């Protein structure tokens, strides 16, 4: 596939796709506008060693803006059972494109149409799925029932909208709905919030294990998730762990702090669904740590970067102003500045994790490749966290 000249290493942003249970099922690759041909740029990223293993078992939705230039040789190194080719609806009107895509579908590659096509065009392309921005309006019913799916609704800003789209025939969803939860769950309960803040305070000041154990016993949900975690395949222990004291000893102080910070997000919502903030917090924490490492920060600074990342969503989780949360905790000043004002070195790093572009990365002294490596590792870890908690 011919393409304009692109940067040596393209800049990409991964976006999670969830099912109706808030479980991650796929990842979309969003390339920066200056990446040249988006598919060729994605191929460069997929040459990262063990990239599909790192993102397993997620499907990878790859942009193919110019399907007329796509050749089977470009796909030979990609696992057909894990790759979904996203092609724009407008390009599918070309009969030659329809034949080409249909032949690739016959070879086992999954075709997803980005937008709504006319008539039987999607079927002629061998497409199984449709993706569309469903934030405000839904596509015609026939556009969804004509293909088996799964169909992807983009632009989801609330779980209520996800429910509406699910009724319409969508089963995959993407958007920032995790950042806009309904404010009637457990986080709004004053007793629960007080207990969580107390636990966070103990973690922040590296409290004695016995103090942690007392609070854990007061929070059955958190205690359950901790014991479930240490008995999971992630730790592969020869004998099961039955007590909090054993769990604390197995994990070690540093790992205990990290896992408990994430476990705060693991509590179920009133509807029984997984909390979508959990993997998002894991991504932020891991990316912050990875970028700090790329900048040659020392171990303590890397740990603070992790804390800033994982705590950056506490205001959403607890439905409280971040100023009140920070006031209740004994945090390092650099972490406080980052959480309240996105200021200081940690604040600058947190802004890069929340939104990045080539200019901001260059100013921070972080290469595109280093950013991709940190992002890849962060999503790998978030996937593992979600599967083990």
Give me the residue spans of the domains in the chain. Answer: 12-179, 183-389
**Of residues 16, 72, 18, 12, the one with CA closest to residue 48:** 12
Global pTM exceeds 0.75 = yes
User: What pLDDT score was predicted for residue 5?
Assistant: 41
pLDDT, residue 48, reads: 84
* Fold match, 12-179 / 183-389: no
CA distances from 150 to 13, 84, 128 (A): 22, 11, 7
* DSSP per position, 45-75: HTTSTTHHHHTTT-EEEEE-S-GGG--HHHH
pLDDT in tens, the chain (389 residues): 444 444 468 888 999 999 999 999 999 999 887 777 889 889 888 888 899 999 999 999 999 999 999 888 888 889 989 999 999 999 999 999 999 999 999 988 999 999 988 888 899 999 999 999 999 989 888 788 888 889 999 999 999 999 999 999 999 999 999 999 876 544 445 566 677 778 777 777 777 777 877 877 777 777 777 787 777 766 766 777 777 777 777 777 777 778 878 888 876 555 667 889 999 999 999 999 999 999 999 999 999 999 999 999 999 988 889 998 888 887 889 999 999 999 999 999 999 999 888 889 999 999 999 999 999 999 999 998 888 77
Residues 260 and 30: their CA atoms lie apart, in Å, by 32
Q: Residues with Cβ < 8 Å from 325, sequence gap 6 or more? A: 197, 200, 311, 314, 315, 318, 339
pLDDT of residue 143: 83
CB 259 within 8 A of CB 251: yes
Q: Dihedral through CA 292, CA 293, CA 298, CA 303, nearest 10?
A: 60
Q: Which fold has domain 12-179?
A: TIM Barrel (3.20.20)
CA–CA dist 169, 134 (Å, integer): 12
Tell me how far the alpha carbon of residue 376 is from its chain's centroid.
10
For position 194, what pLDDT does the model report? Answer: 72
Give pLDDT, residue 273: 76
Distance of CA 23 to the CA centre of its chain: 10
Residue 187: the pLDDT is 47
Domain 183-389, second-level architecture: Orthogonal Bundle (1.10)
pLDDT at 74: 87
């Amino acid at each position: 596939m011919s393409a304009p000249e692109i940067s040596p290493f393209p800049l990409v942003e991964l976006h999670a796709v969830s099912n109706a249970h808030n479980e991650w099922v796929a990842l979309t690759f969003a390339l920066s506008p200056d990446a040249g041909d988006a598919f060729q740029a994605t191929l460069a990223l997929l040459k990262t060693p063990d990239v599909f293993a790192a993102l397993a078992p997620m499907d990878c939705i790859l942009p193919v803006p110019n399907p007329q230039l796509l050749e089977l040789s470009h796909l030979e190194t990609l696992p057909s059972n894990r790759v979904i080719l996203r092609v724009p609806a407008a390009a599918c009107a070309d009969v030659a494109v329809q034949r080409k895509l249909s032949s690739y579908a016959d070879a086992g590659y999954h075709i997803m149409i980005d937008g709504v096509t006319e008539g039987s065009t999607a079927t002629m392309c061998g497409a199984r799925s449709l993706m569309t921005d469903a934030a405000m309006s839904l596509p015609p019913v026939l556009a969804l029932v004509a293909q088996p799916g799964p169909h992807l609704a983009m632009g989801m800003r609330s779980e209520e909208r996800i429910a509406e789209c699910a009724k319409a025939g969508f089963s995959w969803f993407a958007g920032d709905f995790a950042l806009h939860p309904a404010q009637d769950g457990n986080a709004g309960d004053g007793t629960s919030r007080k207990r969580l803040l107390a636990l966070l305070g103990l973690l922040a000041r590296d409290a004695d294990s016995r103090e942690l154990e007392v609070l854990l016993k007061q929070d059955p949900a958190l205690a359950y998730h901790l014991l479930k975690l240490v008995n999971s395949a992630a730790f592969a222990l020869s004998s099961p762990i039955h007590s909090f004291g054993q769990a604390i000893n197995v994990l070690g102080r540093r790992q205990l702090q990290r896992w408990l910070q994430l476990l705060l997000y693991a509590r179920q919502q009133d509807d029984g669904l997984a909390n979508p903030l959990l993997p998002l917090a894991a991504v932020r924490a891991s990316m912050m740590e990875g970028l700090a490492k790329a900048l040659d920060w020392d171990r303590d600074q890397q740990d603070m970067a992790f804390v800033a990342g994982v705590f950056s969503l506490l205001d959403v989780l607890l439905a409280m102003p971040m100023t009140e949360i920070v006031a209740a905790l004994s945090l390092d000043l650099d972490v406080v500045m980052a959480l309240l004002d996105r200021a200081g070195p940690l604040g600058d790093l947190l802004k890069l994790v929340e939104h990045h572009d080539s200019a901001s990365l260059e100013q921070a002294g972080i290469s595109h490749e280093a950013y991709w490596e940190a992002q890849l590792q962060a999503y790998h870890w978030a996937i593992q966290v979600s599967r083990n908690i």
